Amino acid sequence: MNHPFVKMNGAGNDFVVVNALETPFTPTAAQARAIADRDTGQGCDQLIAITPSDRADAFMRVWNADGGVVETCGNALRCVGWLLMQSTGKDRVTIDTLGGPTTAWRVPGRVGSGPDGRRGASDPEGSTTAARIVPGRVGSGPDGRRGASDPEGSTSAAQIKVDMGAPRLDWTQIPLEEAMDTRGIELQVGPIDAPLLHTPGAVSMGNPHVVFFTDRQDDAFVSGSGSLVEHHPLFPEGVNVGFAHVLAPDRIRLRVWERGAGLTRACGTGACAALVAASRRGLTGRAATIEVDGGTLRIDWDEASGHVFMTGPVEIERTGTLTLQPDPG
C-alpha cells in the first residue's frame, strides 16, 4: 500500500510526515528505521503519522530514527500544525500526542530563508497539495533540497506557535529513578574530582530532558557525552541531553543529543527544556531566543498560565509516496 508523505523540517529538525487520517500507517520498528535511514531511505530525525483523534483535530504519532516510539516532538508539532491549518483553513488546531494535547496557531508576519539558505514553506492560498500530503507544486531549494513554492515564488515561511503546556518538574514526572531536586540533579560526566559536566537541570516537556550548562558544544563532545547520558540508569525511560551555553539573559546557544535520534539540528522540546532549566537557575529570564544548528526558536515561559510557548518556522523539502517494505525481522 502506498502512503503519501511530506518531507518537512522545523529549524532543521527534519521529518517524514505521513497522512494516516484515512489509511492506517503502522510501521514496525525496523520499517521506521529503514524510512529514517539517510543512505537508503527517505532520511529523517523522526517519522511522523497524522492519525484520527476523538478529542483533537488529529493525533500525532512519533517514531525516532532508531525505530522507537516516543511521546512527542515540538518541532514536528509546528509542522503538523501547519499542514492541518493548510488543509482545513483553520487558524488554530489541536494536536493530541502520547505526551498530551497541544494547540498550534499562526502568528503574524512571515519569515525569510533559514540561516543555511533553505526555502521555507509558503502557500497562503493553499495551492500546494502538500496540505493534503500528496505531491504538489514544489520548487528547488538552493542546497539541493526541495522547498515549497507559493504562487509568487516567495521564499518566505509560515511562523507557527505551539502551546507546549506546563513543564513537568517533579522527579517522578521526568521520570528519575530516585528522588532529586530537578533544578540540579546529582549527575556528572568525567572524573569525580574534575567533572567535565555536572548537575544538569531535569525537565519533562512531555518527554524527558536533562540540560547541562556548558560552552563545550563541539560534535565529538556532544555526541560522546550525550550517548553516555542517554541510557544512564538514573533515567528509566532514557533521556534527551541538552548542552546549553547561556549567551545573555535572553539568548541561549543549544545543541541536543536526542534519545533515539542522536545529534540533530534542532530539538523543540529541548529548546523549551533549556529555557525552563536556565530560568529556574536564574541564568535567564522567562523568555529567550534559542540558537540551534538549523536556525532560531523563540521560547516563552508564561508566568500567569505556567505554560511554555514555542514559535518558529516550518519548511517543506519535498513530497512523495512511501511503500512499506516487508519487515526484515
pLDDT tier for residue 1 given thresholds of 50, 70 and 90: confident
Confidence (pLDDT) at 118:
37
Indicate which residue of 44, 79, 267, 272 is catalytic.
267
Domain that holds residue 261: 188-306
CA-to-CA distance for 36 and 63, rounded, in angstroms? Answer: 9
Q: How many domains does the chain have?
A: 2
Query: Are 178 and 171 contacting, i.e. CB atoms less than 8 angstroms apart?
Result: yes
CA-to-CA distance for 37 and 42, rounded, in angstroms? Answer: 7
Residue 132 belongs to some domain of the structure: yes
Question: Is 15 in the same domain as 70?
Answer: yes
Question: Is 109 in the same domain as 196?
Answer: no
Q: What's the angle, vertex CA 327, arms to CA 323 and CA 329, rounded to 5?
A: 170
Residue count of the chain, please give it. Answer: 329
Residue 90 reports pLDDT greater than 50: yes
Residue 247 belongs to some domain of the structure: yes
Question: Is 59 in the same domain as 148?
Answer: yes
Question: Is 78 in the same domain as 114?
Answer: yes
Q: Which three cell numbers stand for residue 212?
A: 547541562
Question: Is 135 in the same domain as 213?
Answer: no
Question: Is 196 in the same domain as 136?
Answer: no
Query: Are 80 and 50 contacting, i.e. CB atoms less than 8 angstroms apart?
Result: yes
Residue 316 reports pLDDT greater than 50: yes
Residue 266 belongs to some domain of the structure: yes
The helix (run of H) or strand (run of E) holding residue 274 is: helix 268-280
Residue 167 belongs to some domain of the structure: no
CA-to-CA distance for 174 and 171, rounded, in angstroms? Answer: 6
Indicate which residue of 44, 73, 79, 272 is catalytic.
73
> Is 44 among the residues known to form the active site?
no
Q: Which three cell numbers stand for residue 138?
A: 514544489
Question: Is 17 in the same domain as 70?
Answer: yes
Q: Which three cell numbers stand for residue 30?
A: 525496523
The whole-model pTM stands at 0.85
Output the average pLDDT for the chain: 87
Question: Is 290 in the same domain as 318?
Answer: no
Residue 169 belongs to some domain of the structure: no
DSSP string, 122-174: --TT--SGGGGTS---EEEPTTSSEEE--TT----EEEEEEE--PPB-STTTT
Question: Is 63 in the same domain as 84?
Answer: yes
Residue 329 belongs to some domain of the structure: no
The helix (run of H) or strand (run of E) holding residue 271 is: helix 268-280
Query: Are 73 and 268 contacting, i.e. CB atoms less than 8 angstroms apart?
Result: yes
Residue type (1 letter), 144: G
Question: Is 153 in the same domain as 192?
Answer: no
Bridge-based pairing state of the strands 251-258 and 287-292: parallel
Question: Is 201 in the same domain as 220?
Answer: yes
CA-to-CA distance for 302 and 158, rounded, in angstroms? Answer: 23
Q: What is the CATH classification number for the domain harbouring 148?
A: 3.10.310.10
Confidence (pLDDT) at 275:
98
CA-to-CA distance for 315 and 117, rounded, in angstroms? Answer: 12
Confidence (pLDDT) at 328:
61
CA-to-CA distance for 70 and 93, rounded, in angstroms? Answer: 21
The helix (run of H) or strand (run of E) holding residue 276 is: helix 268-280
162-219 tens-digit pLDDT = 999 999 999 999 999 999 999 999 999 999 999 999 999 999 999 999 999 999 999 9
Residue 121 reports pLDDT greater than 60: no
Residue 52 belongs to some domain of the structure: yes
> Is 267 among the residues known to form the active site?
yes
Residue 176 belongs to some domain of the structure: no
Query: Are 39 and 7 contacting, i.e. CB atoms less than 8 angstroms apart?
Result: no
Question: Is 9 in the same domain as 148?
Answer: yes
DSSP string, 42-98: ---SEEEEEE--SSSSEEEEEEETTS-EES--HHHHHHHHHHHHHHH--SEEEEE-T
